[in-house]
Structure 1
Amino acid sequence: MHDVLAVAAQILDGPPDELLHRLSAALKDVIPHRAVAQLASQCATTPVYTYGEPTLARAITGAELAGLLGTVTAGRPWHGVLTIADEEHHALAVASDRAPRGSVLLLLQKNATPDVDALIQPLWDLITIHMYRLTLSGEPSVTAQSRAVAGARFEVAAELGEAHAATLATLLGVLRNQRVDDATARNNAVELALNALSELRTDTRQDQRYHGEEPAGKAFDRLADSLRGLLRHTTVDLELDAPGNDKLVPGELAHSARVAVRSVVLAMLTQDPVRRIRVGWQWDGTDLHATVRDDGPGELNGVLVLGQLSERLRFGDGQLELEAVPGWGLTARIALKASATPQPLEDPLAALGSREIEVLERIAEGSRNRSIADELHISESTVKFHVANILTKLDVATRTQAAALYHATTVA
């Protein structure tokens, strides 16, 4: 424990943007490595940092790290082999749940070092706690805006990637189909490419913009249609279990479920051999559960990409569970929860006392401190004291912002 604390103190003592540099230096003798990377998912602005041999460090992307975050269990460091920059590397990945959305550390080692778990896990937990505290100390409105932008960018990029992956998987299915001749395969491939371009410009965006509700059966039918198109030119049989009820499901939730299921199916198609995929939904009005099963080899090694889906689902308070049974197949269980009904916003002026309200009313009228003091029969220094309290309680920086909030609240 003393060693862990000593190393942690060495790493944490310095500028946050150089933390990974200090971590690498502190571990170089204990865990010899060529590059190190981290994904701190609670940080919306720059969640991914890499450091080490320049070519190798640049090749590590958020996609690999998100995949590890979704599959490596917190408290149980993972040792294995990863392909980065077209080269296999001994890898050590450490996940932590000491922040709301977790974090993961990746070291690309020079040699496998299996006996370092007792050091690296508590060390990474301490660093994760430290990084999370730093994000909490940021200015709230800036942090919230940054997270919202990062979340939207993350979703759009991921879904565009999945759309391209679906197109490529379908094209490969056409070209590999030995039951059709070359001319037919070429014509089918051209048709699929044209349809994919059209859908990319229209259907996907319409799906994303849908914010109403639709019957669960209809939402599932839309998923079934897209999966049939994806598997049409393959030898994989698709089996479907519809929800069994037509309770209304929020459009955004249905869209998220369709995207998640398509991601799982695409990952399953990368395995060989897979001959059957079964997809089912259950919707009880609050939670949507989707189950996807295949009859493939029942191994997780070839579907590490599902870790990226797991991370995206956690971003939206969802969950992905994987169960692989060698020789029997892979089962993916997706759980999504409908957003709670928005609660009415509290009165932002409720925290102000009666005298502070009187001062704020006059600020909103454009009065200066001297005028307010004369009108309320108090000293100017007392007015300044009230103004400072008002700005603090309303979480605004200027009198103008306080006045605008007063007008917006009283008009509402």
Structure 2
Amino acid sequence: MAAVDWTDPTEAVGAVLDILRTPLAEVLQRLSDVLSELVPHHGIAMLTGDCFQSPLRSHGDPVLAEAVTSVEMTRLADIVDIGRPWFGSAAIAGCVQPVLAAASKPTNSAGGLLAIIPVDSADPADRVIKLVQHVWDATNVHIVDLLAEAEPVYLAEQRVAASERAKVIAELSDTHSVALTSILGPLRSRSLDDATARHAATELAVSALLESRTASDRDRAGSEESITEAFARLANKLNLLTHHTDVALELVAPAQAATLPADIAHAARATVRGTALIMLEQGGVSRIRVVWQTQNNQLRVTVRDDGPGTLARDALAVHRLTDRITSLNGTLEVDAVPGWGTAVTAFLPLAAPDVPDTHPLTALNPRELDVLQELTRGHRNRQIAEHLHISEHTVKFHVANILNKLDVSSRGEAAALARDLAQISTVPDAAGIM
């Protein structure tokens, strides 16, 4: 985009207005473009407390952008006061380097932090720092407004993203739980002497450490798992749980080949492990049987013991098993028969969450719709700039975005597509295209 003359009030206000017309997914990129002349930078990141699903966003040099973490931003937020921009050295993107940060907290907002990794390590001028604060204040208000509107597509995408994060956290939590329980097994065993118990516990600890280090990467590697591999991973961990007990473990592998969504595979393993832990804790159990089956586009997970048969459904809430199953639109049944044992069965749907289809024009922000309307009238960049009171460079920026979002290669194609869509569209903004 064209350089902004921040000494010119008209250009400065126009630059901020461009940010305020930008959809949420593009706000940080647009903010980076606007501030690029004011503060040349390698990367930029924002942390907002109002977006619980994806509070951290980053943009710029891919190496830096991908390395920024929520932990770093949270620590930075602790030293930056609201409305008082800060410049100094801080740990961000994996190393200590110069950072310009600004914090803002609009009304009815949890607040947000902006962090800029500048090219120049010299202290920015006071005027520059104050301008960054003002621009971030306005941008943060815009972000809060967009989140309040909560567009359906955005919410659907966030649910998918939240599912991915929950999957990783749940798997790591389960890994730690199994590790601790497995290590305590030999240490508590009365049949092992001290030296043997310590040796067994050490081996289990080393194995658990390796598993913990690789769990996150493995879980992120793909969105699906074969049911055979998923069950094999479960079997390895269950064997650790019962290795130093007298409980016989009977594992019935899935009879049919199938592919499971990763979140379903994680939930199934967590359900079995959590249930097995509860069954082992109640005592009087000599056998646990685990069965996985796929039927009617569902994964059926059954865990059965031969214990006292007094296990209540409420006991499963301790390990949040009911909540986990419900969050995936699944169901959980508990069948306890005194003197005969308990059977816990979970039904998990295999259908993945869908992001609803959207009208092509909904991808355009209000200013891009204005420019598209001008294109349908055959106007050139200079005419569009005059009509919309923006610079020709800004018009070119919007036209490039329009072509990219509508997946067309020319202004004429964009105009023709807009006319066609306006004839059949029920989207309010599209009606003004003609």
State the TM-score, normalizing by the size of structure 1.
Answer: 0.51
Amino acid at match of 1:161: S
SS of equivalent to 2:204: helix
Q: Compute the displacement of 1:404 (Å).
A: 2.5
Query: Of 254, 261, 264, which residue of structure 2 is paired with 1:253?
Result: 264
Query: Of 180, 186, 190, which residue of structure 1 is paired with 2:202?
Result: 190
- Contact 2:300-2:347 within 8 A present in 1 as well: yes
Q: Structure 2 vs 1, CA of residues 335 and 399 (structure 1 numbering), >3 Å: closer, same or farther?
A: farther
Deviation by residue 1:219-261 (Cα, 9 ceiling, x = unmatched)? 3233222211221112211112222122344454333322322
Deviation by residue 1:289-320 (Cα, 9 ceiling, x = unmatched)? 11011222322288244561221222222232
Answer yes or no: is 1:321 the counterpart of 2:333.
yes
CA RMSD of aligned residues (A): 4.3
Partner of 1:295: 306
Q: Compute the displacement of 1:281 (Å).
A: 0.6
Q: Compute the displacement of 1:402 (Å).
A: 8.8
Deviation by residue 1:7-54 (Cα, 9 ceiling, x = unmatched)? xxxxxxxxxxxxxxxxxxxxxxxxxxxxxxxxxxxx9849xxxxxxxx
Q: Which moved more, 1:275-284 or 1:197-206?
A: 197-206
Q: Compute the displacement of 1:367 (Å).
A: 5.6
Partner of 2:223: 211
Amino acid at match of 1:139: A
Partner of 1:236: 247
Query: Of 184, 191, 197, which residue of structure 2 is paired with 1:179?
Result: 191
Query: Of 268, 275, 289, which residue of structure 2 is paired with 1:264?
Result: 275
Amino acid at match of 2:174: E
Deviation by residue 1:147-191 (Cα, 9 ceiling, x = unmatched)? 566544444433332222111211222123222222111110111
Partner of 2:233: 222
SS of equivalent to 2:239: helix
Q: Structure 2 vs 1, CA of residues 180 and 350 (structure 1 numbering), >3 Å: closer, same or farther?
A: closer
Q: Which moved more, 1:297-306 or 1:194-203?
A: 297-306
Deviation by residue 1:102-132 (Cα, 9 ceiling, x = unmatched)? xxxxxxxxxxxxxxxxxxxxxxxxxxxxxxx
Partner of 2:290: 279
Q: Structure 2 vs 1, CA of residues 347 and 364 (structure 1 numbering), >3 Å: closer, same or farther?
A: farther
Query: Of 391, 404, 407, which residue of structure 1 is paired with 2:404?
Result: 407
Amino acid at match of 1:326: P
SS of equivalent to 2:334: strand
Deviation by residue 1:79-110 (Cα, 9 ceiling, x = unmatched)? xxxxxxxxxxxxxxxxxxxxxxxxxxxxxxxx
Deviation by residue 1:293-351 (Cα, 9 ceiling, x = unmatched)? 12223222882445612212222222322233333322211111123596894441399
Answer yes or no: is 1:359 the counterpart of 2:374.
yes
Identical aligned residues as a percent: 38
Q: Structure 2 vs 1, CA of residues 270 and 358 (structure 1 numbering), >3 Å: closer, same or farther?
A: same
- Contact 1:173-1:234 within 8 A present in 2 as well: yes
- Contact 1:290-1:335 within 8 A present in 2 as well: yes
Q: How many residues align?
A: 259
SS of equivalent to 1:259: helix
- Contact 2:372-2:402 within 8 A present in 1 as well: no
- Contact 1:236-1:275 within 8 A present in 2 as well: yes
Q: Structure 2 CA distance, aligned partners of 1:164 and 1:240?
A: 22
Q: Compute the displacement of 1:400 (Å).
A: 7.0
Q: Structure 2 vs 1, CA of residues 355 and 303 (structure 1 numbering), >3 Å: closer, same or farther?
A: closer
Amino acid at match of 2:306: D
- Contact 2:160-2:353 within 8 A present in 1 as well: no
Q: Structure 2 vs 1, CA of residues 349 and 175 (structure 1 numbering), >3 Å: closer, same or farther?
A: same
Q: Which moved more, 1:156-165 or 1:358-367?
A: 358-367
Deviation by residue 1:171-218 (Cα, 9 ceiling, x = unmatched)? 22212322222211111011111111111001454145333452x334
Amino acid at match of 1:337: P
Segments of structure 1 that go 5 or more residues without pairing to the other structure are 1-42, 47-134, 373-379, 381-397
- Contact 2:381-2:396 within 8 A present in 1 as well: no
State the TM-score, normalizing by the size of structure 2.
Answer: 0.49
SS of equivalent to 2:180: helix
Q: Structure 2 CA distance, aligned partners of 1:355 and 1:208?
A: 40
Q: Structure 2 CA distance, aligned partners of 1:363 and 1:272?
A: 80
Q: Structure 2 CA distance, aligned partners of 1:304 and 1:341?
A: 25
Q: Compute the displacement of 1:146 (Å).
A: 6.1
Amino acid at match of 1:179: S
Q: How does 1:84-95 map to 2 (within 5 A)?
A: none
Q: Compute the displacement of 1:365 (Å).
A: 6.5
Q: Structure 2 vs 1, CA of residues 330 and 204 (structure 1 numbering), >3 Å: closer, same or farther?
A: farther
SS of equivalent to 1:280: strand
Q: How does 1:126-205 map to 2 (within 5 A)?
A: 138-140=149-151, 147=159, 150-203=162-215, 205=217
- Contact 1:237-1:275 within 8 A present in 2 as well: yes
SS of equivalent to 1:233: coil
SS of equivalent to 2:178: helix
Q: Structure 2 vs 1, CA of residues 178 and 284 (structure 1 numbering), >3 Å: closer, same or farther?
A: same
Q: Structure 2 vs 1, CA of residues 355 and 204 (structure 1 numbering), >3 Å: closer, same or farther?
A: closer
SS of equivalent to 2:195: helix
